[in-house]
Structure 1
Amino acid sequence: MVKDLALAEAGEKRIEWARRHMPVLDRIKEEFEREKPLKGARIVACLHVTVETANLITTLVAGGAEVAVTGSNPLSTQDEVAAALAARGLFVYAFRGENETEYYDCIKKALELKPNVSLDDGADTIAIIHKEHPELAAQMLGGCEETTTGVVRLRAMAEDKALLYPVIAVNDAETKMMFDNRYGTGQSTLHGIMQATNFLFAGKTVVVCGYGWCGRGFAMRAKGLGANVIVIEIEPRKALEAAMDGYRVMPLGQAAPLGDLFVTLTGNINVLRKEHFALMKDQAIVANSGHFNVEIDIPALEKMAGEKNEIQNNVTEYKLPDGRRLYLLAEGRLINLAAAYGHPPEVMDMSFANQALSVRYIVEQGRSLKKSVYSVPVEIDRRVAELKLASMGLETEKLTAEQEKYLHSWQMGT
């Protein structure tokens, strides 16, 4: 179920380009081809269907797995990539521009594989399995989740004793969170905004909602292009960090009249609301780079507007009764994937290496794990970092025997 199989050749070329910039995943693929550690695994992968994801899927298949692929966002699927994967004989249920019904139908179609491992980017597959297919949950070895939003949902399920199988929070691996979230989101969010609007950051006031790793990355890149950055944060330690990083910190009510561009990166609901829209200046732009399109209260904006126009691709103009115009980008969906290519392959190399090795861990250890949310085993996280350093031609310092002894002894004194 893809848009057009004739796009497969173009997709293959783009997949190969990304592969050349994903050396860690390539190394793991070679290992998987030799050892076939995923034989017997049936994997449903509800992920952004991009060139980087295609290389992850190829790695899992090389390891012996059967894989069904579906999109984790209606606007993030790259149709040529979906076509290329389908042309290889994989089960692919994804096309760009799905409506809500089609989106969930694609996930349900992928579940016909009767998977025993799930890969998620937002926990939608896990949610459907738990709500509609408890018989599938009973056979699951485990799953992986790659977003902050999804991990929050899954930890809530685990706390309520509602989680029916173990899940590894790939999002929280240091080689994912610190690099993918910060450098990947930082760069790709800028790319999406500029692709949609040709926005000049220099001299503008940019309001960054959330100062987790994604917010840090975007704030850093916006500042680097000359923007005056305001950070909105609910957590006092992160707010303090933002202030010491050189940003203004204030509540949204104070920032709303000042911003030229507002970007949400929180994982929470209704961050930008009616009371904020009422204070924004004429021609302010609002965009979201969190996983779901709930961070901006779009229904409230629709009710406030006297007129709504699609003025160009990925830009919707809302005219308010007082004459002000507010611009919503990409329907409030992930701006970096809806209007651009998403994260560069160099950072997704680490994220998907964590995914691949975590899947292997689940296949080998899943039956012994409790129904909980687990961190990526530290040995996997470290191995990904070591492989990435090696691919960059970099080496770490080594401890001497004396230093090793000192760090593990209390008897050597100071």
Structure 2
Amino acid sequence: MRTKVAIIGAGPSGLLLGQLLTRAGIDNVIVERQSGEYVLGRIRAGVLEQGTVGLLREAGVSERMDAEGLVHDGIELIFGGRRDRIDLKALTGGSSVMVYGQTEVTRDLMEARVAMGAQTIYEAANVQPREVKGEHPYVTFEKDGKVCRLDCDYIAGCDGFHGISRKCIPENVLTSYERVYPFGWLGLLSDTPPVNHELIYAHHERGFVLCSQRSTTRSRYYFQVPLTEKVEDWSDERFWEELKRRLPTDIADGVAIGPSLEKSIAPLRSYVVEPMQYGKLFLVGDAAHIVPPTGAKGLNLAASDVNTLYRLLRRAYEEGHAQILDRYSEIALRRVWKAERFSWFMTTLLHEFPDSDGFDKRMQRTDYEYYTGSKAGLTTIAENYVGLPYEAIEGL
């Protein structure tokens, strides 16, 4: 087989890149080790930045999102019982976020890819990028007991943190930056109406809380737990009791409880690898970076990478300007690090750290009071939350 761009991974970043390239007339094939049903079964984020929403519209997959997604013009923060609303729209000159689940984004992209006749190979075993530093890269994999080869011009590694793409780059080429946090998030999904029409991020002495949502009838709640906790030790009843303990009474009284559809514990980490490219291999999304979910940046940062790589590939093919692809890592990393900073900031601001002393706690409270008591501070939170602008590629 031969294609122009081989994409490893059929998650939202691989599917979005493939959709944009297909619409631009650039052939691509996606190779995914899991089944399509497995990919759709992943429960992930649900807050889309302004830039991500625009990119999905450009990709022609926004019809259901625009009909069913919930536009949010603000978020709420709580610290020490004090409740502050961040008016995203007013502070950013009209920008907002869209609540629309990552599972639904993935479903829309899958259906669009089928409709366009683009090829996705699911349940491919032993996927391996090869000759990525040479003139003729290719990908090998096994399907139905046969070894297959996919020749291409470029390879996009959209296969996540545990995927093969990053691992095929020599260790002496990569520099990794990592911060592992001493806690995780216990999350519960339920078919219950959200407790608030906007997301609530709350600091509490027992640990952080997030009241999120997927729709007007489906809620997603999280709270901070030690890494030693096991999800099987948390019955639904125990979860709801702990959630209410960490919320102000007026909010806790409004929490509608119900059986869990899904429950899990996710550890928190910040991680970045540099560079994000090696020869003709480009790392996209979680293959290159992880952010703690406090800033709602995971899927959005992957979309940012897709935007950069897609526009560089278009210029390479349409203008014969292949050397411009050498700028990918440099451009992508500028936005990656800003998103990492914001996610780290929100995590540090709102969580309880087990080794914090009295000074640390006073500084945390003072940070909160400064940022929420200053228009400059509020604007900083708002403009980062809705998403910083994408860097222009067309003028390079």
User: TM-score over 0.5 for the alignment?
Assistant: no
Give the TM-score of the pair, scaled to structure 1: 0.25
Larger helix percent: 1
Larger strand percent: 2
